[in-house]
Structure 1
Amino acid sequence: MQTVSTIPLAVPNIGPEDIASVHTAMTDGWVSSVGPDVPAFEQAVAAASGTSSAVAVASGTAALMIALRALGIGRGDLVLCPTYTFVATANAIHSAGADPIFVDIDLATWAIDINHAEQMVSRLVAVGLPKPRAIIVVYPMGNPIDMTDVKVFAERHGIRIVADAAAAIGSTFDGRPVGGLADATTFSFNGNKTMTTGGGGAIVGDDGFIAAARSLASTGRLGVNYDHDRPAFNERMTNIEAALGRSQIARLDSFIAAKARIRARHDLFAHKHDLDVFPRHRLAERGDWFSGVVLRPETDIRDVVSVLNSRGIGVRLFWKPMHLQEAYAPLLSSLKQAGLSTDDLYPVADALWRRVLPLPCSTNITDRQIDEVHAVLAYALAKTEGANDILLTRLAAIA
């Protein structure tokens, strides 16, 4: 076989304008959480999300945690969240002092299954546990979902809605920017996101909520003196990060267009090989942070990943559901002792998670590199699914 170049899963697209922006911030001395780039970046995030204001913070996890606290969620509260998500969603609930209640996902959307959420509320009440006070909805791969049923559910039970839109900056649903679809919406700007600040995150919502979130992220400080009106956190974004963010968000439209191009090519490969693609609602646009393929149930994803990795293609298993994580085994055990058994409650997530294979999708990946990925993937699928030697030899020559 030929040796292919190393193709990472998702790396930032850093250009000379980004370097110049950070250099200016550093040479001007604005390196900490105080500086002109922070409010300017916050304004840009608010504009991209269709809201009037935003708070830039240290990470997407911090954004979720502070959003919950700003909504009054804390110690002793329960928060519903999908079991199929990145661990930061559950960790943020824990950091806010609350406990996550994991809910299965809808196979058609990969988002939280509201029917199952309803069942979980009934089970909680039946064993004498309190109703959840909030629900976190994760937008899968940066694609927003239809929130109609979520809002009906939340209103019926009197709970708040937080959207974990970690990878959804700039996305829309039915023409509406994503920031106005929940009580609070949070973003991540980690290095593998569509745009990055290196680390960092942001929170958007209405002005009253944002004022509370800003205070909680900024040690509860009042004015320039050392007066503080509440116990709070130091989770502010630095000006250096915001300088990079300002430069990156100015190119957000081009990054989103690149993600759409990449998704289209990965979807074409999937259809050609009779594989499922990642879900996206027909009214969702400008998302597709990650795209890739859903392997057949009988395919061992570990074997496929091994072949791709051996050829320099940086793929890996994706999210492992929260109810399978060692970190949350004690919580599930305590719920079971209280009478809420979670055994066999997550059939969709259990069946899905070992089949999801995100493919390289950096916004600066070339069509030729995508072709290389597809060629090696075709060989890996044939090899792991027991293709005959003649076909394997032909595919190996292409790969």
Structure 2
Amino acid sequence: MSKVYLSPPDVGQLEESYALAAIRSGWVAPLGPDVDAFESELAERIGTSYAVATSSGTAALHLALLGVGAGPGQAVVMPTLTFAATANAAIYTGAEPIFVDCDPTTGNIDVDLLESLLDRLAAEQRRVAAVVPVDMFGVCADYDRLLPVCERAGYPVIEDAAEALGATRSGRAAGSFGRAGVLSFNGNKIMTTSGGGMLLTDDAELAARARYLATQARQPVAHYEHTDIGYNYRLSNVLAAIGRAQLSRLDGMIRRRHELRDQYAKLFAACPGVRLLGDADPGANCWLTTIVVEPEIAGWRPGELAAHLAAQDIETRPVWKPMHLQPVHAGAETVLTGAAERLFATGLTLPSGSAMPEHEGERVRRAIDEFLSRR
């Protein structure tokens, strides 16, 4: 019996043909026509003027923060419920992260809490480089409220949409909000280039600066000349070719993840004390379906279901451990309600990959049903 993974890459013959064509073209690395085409196609899909393909989503975040002037003596405000890369990118610049708790319904940053924090930081005359909301598990943050709050405070927004490609909010695509947006094409994401990312923006100067820094800040002269510290952050042409194949299949992959989420919703519909995180958002891409369990009502804990599924070689994962609980960020400034800690304790992500065949989906649902029937 093979293992059922949480969100494995969904790649096949189309991706193979694109990669092979890129190799045979001679444009193997570091850049080339597939990188140019991938940037153009994704910018058109998201609705931004510019796209800069990078070696990872983390690299794109770092470049975006550098583009808005983040550096020592400044703060970058972000949710505590996120992957480590969001905080790491801020620290790379020399800035310090400030962590804000989440909305328990979606896991996204609590806008009321954010507004009160920004008011306090302004009153204290603190230097804030940017606010970095994260679109958790493929659900966009509440940008209808968040963007005006940040605009009034005078702070740029860098959207961490690493988990949200294909999601929308009020008719706008994830990655198009704020001064810049960032996507990830890691192996477990909604689409993949093996490893890679994209910086999206309407700001021509920010895009040009990102391209410059991402190619070792090399000056446009015949010899190697450098006046700034740069980075090796550009995406290879072969990986961009895989990304182009994936992008052509994106809508179908999102539909499959919606199907899986709908099946989980039906399975847990009659379970008191169990809900799907962010289930009310019609614009979600359903990257990972996450259940939230109230043990005192449900009569069981998410860890018990995880152990039951693990015994049958089915992978699950807890919700992100909040950044303020990570040893590396001990002592970081935080604004908390306890919501993120509760989601960490009560949330569980379920197998959601678009490559999961129906017989594996049925195996997962049968195992969950078996667990629930014993309770």
TM-score, with length taken from structure 2: 0.92
The structural deviation recorded for 1:304 is 2.0
Residue matched to 1:391:
none
Partner deviation per Cα, 1:233-290 (whole Å, 9 max, x = no partner): 11111112111111111111111111111111112222132320120554x4251111
Residue matched to 1:176:
172
Distance 1:382 1:93, change over 3 A: farther
Distance 1:224 1:19, change over 3 A: farther
The within-5 A match list for 1:306-325 is 306-325=307-326
For structure 2, the residue ranges without an aligned partner over 5 or more in a row are none
Alignment partner of 1:202 out of 198, 216, 219: 198
Contact 2:109 2:141 in 1 (8 A): no
Partner deviation per Cα, 1:169-210 (whole Å, 9 max, x = no partner): 222222222232211100000000111000000000012321
Partner deviation per Cα, 1:323-355 (whole Å, 9 max, x = no partner): 0001111x42xx5xxxxxx5x834111111122
Q: What's the secondary structure of 1:320's corresponding residue?
A: coil
Q: What's the secondary structure of 2:210's corresponding residue?
A: helix
The within-5 A match list for 1:22-61 is 22-61=19-58
For structure 1, the residue ranges without an aligned partner over 5 or more in a row are 336-341, 388-399
Q: Does 1:17 align with 2:8?
A: no
Distance 1:140 1:100, change over 3 A: same
What amino acid is aligned across from residue 305 of structure 1 in structure 2? A
Contact 1:103 1:117 in 2 (8 A): yes
What amino acid is aligned across from residue 279 of structure 1 in structure 2? G
The structural deviation recorded for 1:109 is 2.4
Which stretch shows the higher mean deviation, 163-172 or 365-374?
Answer: 365-374
Residue matched to 1:364:
355
Residue matched to 1:397:
none
Which stretch shows the higher mean deviation, 293-302 or 253-262?
Answer: 293-302
What amino acid is aligned across from residue 202 of structure 1 in structure 2? M
Q: Matched residues in 2 for 1:174 and 1:224: separation?
A: 45
Distance 1:266 1:145, change over 3 A: same
Q: Does 1:212 align with 2:209?
A: yes
Distance 1:328 1:82, change over 3 A: same
Q: Matched residues in 1 for 2:27 and 2:344: separation?
A: 43
Contact 1:49 1:179 in 2 (8 A): yes
Partner deviation per Cα, 1:119-171 (whole Å, 9 max, x = no partner): 33455567x57242211111111121331221222122110101100022222
Residue matched to 1:89:
86
What amino acid is aligned across from residue 326 of structure 2 in structure 1? Q
Contact 2:111 2:142 in 1 (8 A): no
Residue matched to 1:67:
64
Alignment partner of 1:348 out of 331, 334, 339: 339
Contact 2:122 2:153 in 1 (8 A): no
Q: Matched residues in 2 for 1:375 and 1:52: separation?
A: 46
The structural deviation recorded for 1:227 is 3.4
What amino acid is aligned across from residue 240 of structure 1 in structure 2? V
Residue matched to 1:253:
251
Contact 1:70 1:216 in 2 (8 A): no
Q: Does 1:279 align with 2:289?
A: no
Residue matched to 2:100:
103
Q: Matched residues in 2 for 1:375 and 1:295: separation?
A: 19
Alignment partner of 2:364 out of 357, 369, 373: 373
Alignment partner of 2:130 out of 134, 148, 164: 134
CA RMSD of aligned residues (A): 2.1
Distance 1:253 1:45, change over 3 A: same
Q: What's the secondary structure of 1:79's corresponding residue?
A: strand
Residue matched to 1:396:
none
Q: Matched residues in 2 for 1:9 and 1:173: separation?
A: 25
Q: Matched residues in 2 for 1:375 and 1:292: separation?
A: 18
Runs ≥4 in structure 1, deviation > 6 angstroms?
none
Contact 2:160 2:175 in 1 (8 A): no
Structure showing greater radius of gyration is 1
Contact 1:220 1:228 in 2 (8 A): yes
Q: Matched residues in 1 for 2:28 and 2:372: separation?
A: 48
Q: Does 1:149 align with 2:145?
A: yes
Contact 1:216 1:233 in 2 (8 A): yes
Q: Does 1:119 align with 2:116?
A: yes
Q: Matched residues in 1 for 2:266 and 2:27: separation?
A: 46
Contact 1:315 1:357 in 2 (8 A): yes
Q: Matched residues in 2 for 1:323 and 1:101: separation?
A: 9
Residue matched to 1:339:
none
Q: What's the secondary structure of 1:241's corresponding residue?
A: helix
Q: What's the secondary structure of 2:157's corresponding residue?
A: strand
Q: What's the secondary structure of 1:193's corresponding residue?
A: coil
Contact 1:83 1:105 in 2 (8 A): yes
